[in-house]
């Protein structure tokens, strides 16, 4: 049985003052900037689905959805049906495409219809469930697998499948999409071209069976990074909304990051005075070392999101040992003025110094900004800003 404490009388979300002082600041304008770049690159006629999987890759689906629509995306695509319903309940009226995830029983189909969402069909059993439970007419998407070998109707079976929808009476085909697999190294572009050809061929064959396909969508971020030739009728980038598409690498250095900063505060500062079992200490001790304790640990994901040092009083202070469950130790020997309550910056700027997200990504072997973001657990409070002051 699930016990939802937040729903129990007398129990509410903790007040900010009761939380540990850990804050992740998200710059929504930096996300808007990337959306505008993508829109400018594909032009106005292309339907732009902003893919917000996994709570918008950890950036927070509600705030990000509003931001991307305002900045020029036409629609949201998402896996979590629960998130899709939250978007509707928050007043978002744009088209919302829901990728496969929830098993389509009666309740799911009714929720999809009640909230005006567009479900994705990927095999006969999902099609049957929607035909059985939908009141209709219901706009649907069909996902074709062209080479990811993941979810979808195999490309060669897609024409007959698409014809079944047209014949169902209840369902209306609104869109056909595919999510190609991008290999690394030699042959990657050719393999992508083959997948795109499978997709367009499946659509063409379906049209020969009398099916009308209003929208064909195949270009995810990786596709858009490789070629502009596959935008078809629409695009559905996800990570690229945060990472950019590398369309303007000259501006890349100076631009703002959607993950603007990650900060905490010192909760203890003290001099280390140990003279025995130095070999068995948790980290190498030196004379006159000053230790700082930060109340963030690997339960918050910080072990995957630090550059080996933090900023205190605008100076780089090394981490001592790897973060433990709830605490991280830092070396404050070179920051003699540091006191309890002082700000500790894991990502962001302080004074003249700065630890940018890409420095953390390099240090931790993380290739993409959304992957760094997904390391940071919901236990860290999120704060949204619209205009980050320079560097922060
Ligand atoms: C995840 C996903 C995307 C977005 O992919 P990115 O590589 O993050 O741009 C697009 N389409 C489908 C069907 C997806 O599942």
User: The domain that contains 361 carries what CATH number?
Assistant: 2.40.37.10
Strand ranges (E), 302-362: 309-312, 315-320, 328-331, 343-350, 353-355
The pair phi, psi for residue 325, each rounded to 5°, is -55, -45
Q: Is the pLDDT of residue 237 over 80?
A: yes
| Nearest-atom index, ligand 1, CA of 217 | 11
Residue where the block lists tokens 């937040």 = 6
**Domain co-membership, 378 together with 318:** yes
Lowest mean pLDDT among 2-6, 238-242, 340-344, 365-369: 2-6
Question: Per-residue pLDDT tens for 213-228?
Answer: 999 999 999 999 999 9
**Domain co-membership, 271 together with 370:** yes
Whole-number Å distance, alpha carbon 99 to ligand 1 midpoint, is 10
Question: Per-residue pLDDT tens for 121-153?
Answer: 999 999 999 999 999 899 999 999 999 999 999
- Antiparallel, parallel or unpaired: β 343-350 and 353-355: antiparallel
Task: Provide residues with CB under 6 Å of ligand 1.
Answer: 51, 53, 99, 177, 179, 220-222, 236-240
Q: Which of 294, 291, 284, 233 is nearest to 263 (CA)?
A: 294
**What whole-number distance in Å separates Cα of residue 259 and Cα of residue 113?**
35
The strand pairing partners of 382, in sequence order, are 24
Whether a cis peptide bond, with omega within 30° of 0, leads into 137 is yes
Strand ranges (E), 324-375: 328-331, 343-350, 353-355
Whole-number Å distance, alpha carbon 342 to ligand 1 midpoint, is 41
Domain coverage including residue 363: 259-385
For residue 247, what pLDDT is reported? 61
Helix H or strand E segment including 268 = strand 268-271
User: DSSP assignment, residue 71?
Assistant: T
Question: Per-residue pLDDT tens for 77-103?
Answer: 999 999 999 999 999 999 999 999 999
For residue 13, what pLDDT is reported? 62
Domain boundary among 246, 269, 304: 246
Split into its structural domains, the chain has a count of: 2
**Domain co-membership, 114 together with 50:** yes
- Antiparallel, parallel or unpaired: β 309-312 and 96-98: unpaired
Whole-number Å distance, alpha carbon 224 to ligand 1 midpoint, is 11
């Amino acid at each position: 049985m699930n016990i939802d404490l937040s729903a129990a009388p007398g129990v509410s979300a903790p007040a900010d003052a009761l939380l540990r002082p850990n804050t992740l600041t998200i710059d929504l304008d930096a996300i808007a900037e990337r959306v505008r770049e993508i829109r400018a690159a594909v032009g106005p006629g292309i339907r732009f689905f902003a893919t917000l999987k996994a709570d918008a890759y950890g950036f927070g689906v509600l705030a990000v959805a509003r931001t991307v629509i305002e900045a020029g995306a036409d629609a949201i695509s998402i896996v979590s049906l629960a998130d899709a319903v939250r978007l509707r309940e928050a007043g978002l009226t744009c088209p919302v495409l829901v990728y496969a995830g929830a098993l389509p029983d009666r309740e799911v189909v009714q929720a999809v219809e009640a909230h005006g969402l567009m479900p994705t069909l990927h095999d006969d059993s999902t099609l049957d469930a929607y035909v059985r439970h939908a009141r209709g007419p219901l706009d649907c998407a069909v996902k074709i697998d062209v080479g990811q070998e993941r979810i979808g109707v195999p490309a060669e079976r897609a024409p007959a499948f698409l014809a079944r929808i047209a014949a169902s009476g209840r369902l209306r085909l609104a869109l056909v999409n595919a999510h190609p697999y991008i290999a690394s190294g030699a042959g990657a572009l050719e393999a992508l071209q083959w997948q795109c050809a499978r997709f367009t061929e499946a659509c063409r064959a379906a049209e020969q069976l009398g099916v009308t396909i209003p929208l064909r969508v195949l270009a995810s971020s990786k596709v858009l990074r490789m070629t502009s030739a596959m935008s078809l009728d629409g695009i559905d980038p996800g990570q690229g909304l945060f990472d950019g598409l590398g369309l303007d690498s000259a501006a890349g250095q100076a631009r703002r990051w959607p993950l603007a900063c990650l900060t905490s505060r010192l909760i203890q500062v003290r001099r280390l005075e140990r003279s025995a079992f130095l070999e068995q200490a948790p980290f190498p001790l030196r004379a006159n070392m000053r230790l700082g304790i930060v109340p963030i640990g690997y339960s918050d994901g910080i072990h995957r999101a630090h550059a080996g040092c933090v900023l205190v009083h605008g100076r780089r202070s090394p981490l001592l040992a790897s973060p433990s469950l709830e605490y991280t130790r830092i070396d404050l020997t070179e920051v003699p003025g540091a006191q309890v309550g002082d700000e500790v910056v894991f990502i962001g700027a302080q004074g003249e110094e700065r630890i940018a997200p890409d420095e953390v990504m390099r240090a931790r072997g993380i290739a993409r900004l959304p992957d760094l973001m997904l390391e940071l657990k919901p236990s860290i409070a999120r704060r949204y800003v619209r205009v980050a002051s320079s560097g922060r």
